[in-house]
Chains A and B, each alone.
Chain A
Amino acid sequence: MIRMPEPDGAVLARRSEIVAALRTIVPGEGVIDSERERRAFDCDGLTAYRQLPMVVVLPETTAEVAAVLRYCRANAVKVVPRGAGTSLSGGALPLEDGVLLGLGKFKRILEVDVANRCAVVQPGVTNLGITHAVQAEGLYYAPDPSSQIACTIGGNVAENSGGVHCLKYGLTTNNVIGVELVTMDGDVIRVGGKHFDAGGYDLLGVLVGSEGMLGVVTEVTVRLLPTPPGARALLIGFPSVEGAGECVAAVIAAGIIPGGMEIMDKLAIDAAEAFVQAGYPMDAEGLLIVELDGCAAEVDHLIAAVETIAVEHGATSCRASRSEDERLLFWAGRKAAFPAVGRISPDYYCMDGTIPRKAIGRVLKRMKTMEERYGLRCANVFHAGDGNLHPLILYDANKPGELQRAEDFGADILRLCVEVGGVLTGEHGVGVEKRDLMDTMFNEVDLNQQQRLKCAFDSESLLNPGKVFPQLCRCAELGRMHVNAGKLRFPDLPRF
């Protein structure tokens, strides 16, 4: 288990005074003090980690957020922002000595601007809520995490969330164009807007994916896209997952970027089919779902092209959806893969590494040997187009030692992803979960530079500390940069 920073005894001792002060900022039930009610916030989607927050605050206005942060900054109180709490990496895990700042009351759609193809929304609006609010205009918000009914746009911004359509339409970062941000100092800053790009440093770009550590987002402007006129999906069975992987590479090499391209392995196929009866080919070891979207002329043209490629790559079955219902049915199994796996195992642990696609065969083989070594099964669903793996490790938390084994297994998978040229996380974030693996990708200099950015926003490390970085930021120390002029390796270079 990952250890969180030691709570600050001085802060804990002042708890009732802090609660009282917060009540003067956020009235009534906006400050939650009772243990029973705080319990509802003790974890996010990474349920193996739980911590009761010191106090929960649910502000309703930017001014309240700013006042809370200003108070916390002045009193050295830590703050953990939270949206819907669906993070799978423990990004919203509370701190014993920290305020849990929930943005759940920021639920309004502020503006739908059709001429500029964007919407201005509050951070607590759900991902799907945005599309619902704009679809009458023929528009939608493209990034579609499977959690989209529940997760908030504020959480999406913090995690730079993806979804099955991000190969073609991009991640959150490519679809958010502005935010209002409150810094830990309580300053309200607008970054971006309805325009393209930045007039100075692209702060919006680093805020997206910063895991709630740089500021609290109180308003988001998202880019909207016109709803594609149609889409069809192909359900393609392969005798091996590797075969499905090679087909994906061939589709891309042929110049086709499908709307979505997902692979499931045998265990995932079986679980999903038993759960939703999507009509998946039960003889397949690897299932590939390819969705083409656009106008009918393009979709039909590309469906035919992908079918040809699939057959050339040894597909044993290939079905194209003939109706919208059938297309949705093809997806139903994939979209329900997590809960479906949940039905065949008391618990599962979802990993999120990305690998170069060409390494898929090697990685799957190594994962098989790990299954044996750890004595745990692993189902695989895979955003195949962009190489983003979601191995689901099946375990039973009630059996002594199994959670630890699952975590060790997961860490081994992620190390393997890095070893083959990939990364620790494709869309779920580092959070607490992968924090202590950061050194497999980054050395101390790399991490120090990241932390110096953090220090520019939050010099006292009060905002969501204990996440992402294996060591807490030491801003004062990092600020005193030294030059290694003593170790100059090229004495023959001309001097200044």
Chain B
Amino acid sequence: MTIYRPSDEKQLSEIVARAAAERQPLEVVSGGSKRGLGRPVKAEHVLDVSQIAGVVNYEPAELVLTARPATPLAAIKAELAAKRQMLAFEPPDWRALMGSNAEPTLGGALACNLAGPRRVRAGAARDVFLGFSAVNGAGEIWKAGGKVVKNVTGYDMMKLLAGSFGTLSVLTEVTLRVAPRPETETTILLHGLADEVALRTMAKALNTPFEVSSVAHLPPAAARRSQVAEIAGGLGAVTGARLEGPAPSVAWRAEAVERLVGRGARLDAAASARFWEEAGEVHRLLPPDGRVLWRLCPAPSFAAAIVDAVRRRLASTEALFDWGGGLVWCSLDGGEAGPDAGAAIVRAAMKPAGGHATLVVAPEATRERSAVFEPAEGPLGELTARIKAGFDPFGVLNPGRMREGS
């Protein structure tokens, strides 16, 4: 195995061109913190892009930041915080979840299309990705999008590359939209709701015009694991709704939301921030060891029914609900789930709702055997394969990461 560590875009393109010419697949790694996400890559060599790093340009008044992809997220967050701005999509830190201590980078957050609890209001990585420069699977340097917040010139390739897990092109420079950091935040906590009731309550909160920016529901076991005292020490299940903005507005809206969904406890700004960080990172709220973990994105109103359906087959099922039910983390005992990590049961339970399920944590052998991402069949599958071939005709970029054989 060779590790190639290019120092700039030109060198990177050269390496990929050579890999293509010699049909030598590459595993593309930036920080490496999410290397265990997806199927194991079938590649002898590693393309380590960690040197392609650094903020290129940041203009707070334009709400635009351009950086090279291996820039650590921590560095970007700090630079933005100094100007009272942020990445609105709140890329969660999944190091603990993935059992990695590598540095999470901007490129990784985009390539995996991450989104934190603010997804319901502020979108995912895809929604702030404005433009890029990249190297395709033939080693050609190409670019798309722009460096301004509004642009429809040409196809929106940013959407396609967000969530492509490095299988279409290797990013070398990215531009994204940033947002002002809200002056303050609070979270309303409702205690003791059953899953189904909590889902309806979350929908109600999101349907108010009071700009609820996150809603999550922790069943009793998950709530007990929280490091936020008000949540762990409550009476079982906890449902939280976050409000952000100028102080007088937050206070007023919190009152207004409570009038509709019921009186609750309130988290102050610091505890609120800690809670949502924990909800995004997720791992602390779920049972440790020996588990496999699914990330489900169904039509939100189906979330509780899906979990019930899985639990009827697998008693070890534990779940927590973010994005008002639009995101369900479903943890299963590895032994009970069996060799496919519960894939058949989980996917069958998802059927009535539509949406997709990803196997986020499972032993490597399991991830190799099963469809980690939502299977694409028929014309959609053929289209997916043609798209991959259009960017990476020789199959050298992260082959096997998303689907078997490509």
Contact = CB atoms under 8 A, between A and B. Distances in A.
B362 interface: no
Contacts of A358: 59, 61-62
Contacts of A386: 148-150
Interface of B is mostly: mixed
Contacts of B183: 255
Contacts, number: 317
Interface of A is mostly: loop
A206 B156 contact: yes
A117 interface: yes
Contact of B150 (A166, A190, A226, A495): A166
B301 A115 contact: yes
A137 B379 CA distance: 37
B164 A201 contact: yes
Interface in B348-406: 353-358, 373-374, 376, 378-380, 383-384, 386-387, 389-391, 393-394, 402-403
A482 to B, nearest CB: 7
A200 B61 contact: no
Contact of B379 (A185, A455, A496): A185
Nearest to A417: B148
Interface string B5-40: 000001100110111111010000000000000000
Interface string A286-329: 00000000111110011000000000000000000000000000
A387 interface: yes
Interface in B102-154: 113, 115, 119, 123-124, 126-127, 136, 138-144, 146-154
Interface residues of B, number: 108
Nearest to A174: B127
B18 A495 contact: yes
- Which interface residue of A201, A253, A383, A447 has the most chain B CB atoms within 10 A? A201
Given A160-B152, A183-B379, A356-B147, A197 B256 contact: no
B124 A196 contact: yes
A229 interface: yes
B14 A488 contact: yes
Contacts of A197: 113, 115, 124, 126, 163, 297, 356
A492 to B, nearest CB: 10
A173 B179 CA distance: 18
B305 interface: no
Interface in A91-114: 113-114
B327 interface: yes
Interface string B229-252: 000000000000000011011011
B253 A295 contact: yes
- Which interface residue of B181, B249, B384 has the most chain A CB atoms within 10 A? B249
Contacts of A79: none
- Which interface residue of B62, B155, B157, B390 has the most chain A CB atoms within 10 A? B155
Nearest to B44: A496
Nearest to A434: B153
Interface stretch (B208-216, B271-279, B282-290, B337-345): B208-216
Given A194-B299, A452-B390, A453-B160, A255 B148 contact: no
A189 B387 CA distance: 15
Contacts of A253: 60-61
Interface in B156-214: 156-160, 162-164, 168, 179-183, 200, 203, 206-211
A195 interface: yes
Given A200-B376, A255-B84, A455-B390, A484 B150 contact: no
B387 A257 contact: no
A298 B252 contact: yes
A468 B154 contact: yes
A477 interface: no
B343 to A, nearest CB: 13
B326 interface: yes
Given A170-B127, A453-B160, A116 B299 contact: yes
B228 interface: no
B209 A229 contact: yes
A257 B180 contact: yes
B159 A173 contact: yes
Contact of A199 (B17, B61, B323, B358): B358
Given A203-B380, A421-B147, A426-B148, 19 more contacts: A114-B203, A195-B354, A197-B297, A201-B160, A205-B159, A206-B156, A209-B155, A296-B252, A298-B248, A298-B249, A357-B61, A358-B59, A386-B149, A426-B151, A438-B153, A442-B154, A450-B144, A456-B386, A488-B17
22 contacts: A113-B299, A116-B300, A166-B150, A187-B379, A197-B113, A203-B384, A205-B159, A205-B160, A226-B206, A294-B249, A295-B249, A356-B59, A358-B61, A386-B148, A426-B148, A428-B152, A438-B154, A445-B141, A445-B142, A484-B139, A484-B140, A485-B20
Interface of B: 2, 4, 10-11, 14-15, 17-22, 24, 45, 59-64, 84-85, 113, 115, 119, 123-124, 126-127, 136, 138-144, 146-160, 162-164, 168, 179-183, 200, 203, 206-211, 245-246, 248-249, 251-253, 256, 297-301, 323, 326-327, 353-358, 373-374, 376, 378-380, 383-384, 386-387, 389-391, 393-394, 402-403
